[in-house]
A = this chain, B = another copy of it.
Amino acid sequence: MCRQNPGRDGNMSLRQIAQSLGVSITTVSRALAGYSDVSAATRERVVAEAHRIRYVPNEVARRLQRGRADGIGFIVPGGARGFDDRYFLNMVEGAWWRLAGTEVDLLVLSSDQGPTEALTYRRIVEGGRVDGLLVPRIRESDSRIDYLCEVGFPFIAFGAEPSHPKAYAYVDIDTEAATAEAMRHLADLGHRSVALLSSDEALVFARSREAAFLKAAAGLGITTTILCGKLAEASGFALMSELLARPDRPTAAISITDRIGIGAVRAVREHGLTVGPDMSIITFGDNPVVAFMHPPMTAISIPVQAMTAHAVDYLLARRERPDAPLTRLWKTELVVRESTAAPRGRGMASDLPLAV
């Protein structure tokens, strides 16, 4: 016959309670579930006994029976690079926070970006390990989205692919508003030429921030430069170094992630320049450390935790109602600190012919 469940000492199951009380398992189950069609006396005895033997239901069995995973998956992309950004921590934290105290687990899953990615997704989705998925860092023409849409599995994308044929659920920041506010701030300080430090990877959020940057700059009559690298401090360092070497260099830069911004600040300092007067820097993200850098960084604060918690809410709600409401676009806040200043040798904003 089958071996006993090996991982546990005794069998703390419903059967045990049923046997010591001389009732059926069914009754025990019902009493514990709080059904009203159990006599009060019986319920009391069952509950007492359950408490006595410290009964804890087996979640796995329960999940099999209910056909529900009671889990939300967060997929960390990219096998090699991995969990590279504090941003992911904030997402994990937001999801974790929302799930604390519930019976729903947070699964941190990985997927490589190669040919096996599709299989990985199938195993996660069709293997029944989760009820919903958080999918960050959406790529252009993202096959993961296609798959999830096709099988109708509940998921939330972080950032949307603008031209995707199917509408799918996503959360994102209001990139245009965020960028416009940041550019306005720079223009007010007197900057006339601004760079964007971006990534050349096929990431939707990078493209979207670039587009918003160009649009805002056009509106303000600001000269633009876009430099692309990777999403890492070292790349921010390299990009900024390249920018500083230019004779007609911009006086300010916006970086599309905190990590790039951190590297950029360091490059400015190592070139013997002062962040702010010599080169103003604004970063998308605003993870806690940028406020503690020198100088404290002006940042477009993205409410990652709140967005993720809300996304989890949506996924949980969708288990019952397919039309659960979802807040798609989130407002950011420009937190002005000391990495932005009027450019050296420039007048104040009021002197400038701003094309507004």
Q: Which positions in A face B, CB cutoff 8 Å? A: 3-9, 12, 54, 56-61, 63-64, 67-69, 71, 76, 79, 82-83, 86, 88-89, 92-93, 96-97, 99-101, 103, 105-110, 112, 122-123, 126-129, 131, 151-152, 233, 262-263, 265-266, 269, 288-289, 292-294
CA distance A86 to B92 in the complex (A): 12
Q: Say whether B97 contacts A93, CB under 8 Å.
A: no
A99 proximity list for chain B (CB < 8 A): 110
Do B12 and A126 have beta carbons less than 8 Å apart?
A: yes
Asked whether A96 lies within 8 Å of B79 as measured between CB atoms, the reply is: no
Residues of B within 8 A of A8 (CB): 67, 126, 128
Residues of B within 8 A of A64 (CB): 58, 60-61, 64
Chain B residues whose C-beta falls within 8 Å of the C-beta of A56 in the assembled complex: 122-123, 126-127
In the bound complex, CA of A152 to CA of B149 (Å) = 44
Instruction: Tell me how far the C-beta of A10 lies from the nearest C-beta in chain B, rounded to whole angstroms.
Output: 10
Among A9, A100, A151, A262, max chain B CB count under 10 A is at A100
A100-B110, A108-B92, A128-B7 known; A86+B86 contact, CB < 8 A: yes
Known: A54-B122, A64-B64, A79-B101. A128 touches B86 (CB 8 A): no
Q: Cβ of A110 and Cβ of B96 under 8 Å apart?
A: yes
Contact in complex: A96, B108 (CB < 8 Å): yes
Contact check, A131 vs B7: say whether CB atoms are below 8 A apart.
yes
- Give the chain B neighbours of A152 by CB distance below 8 A: 9
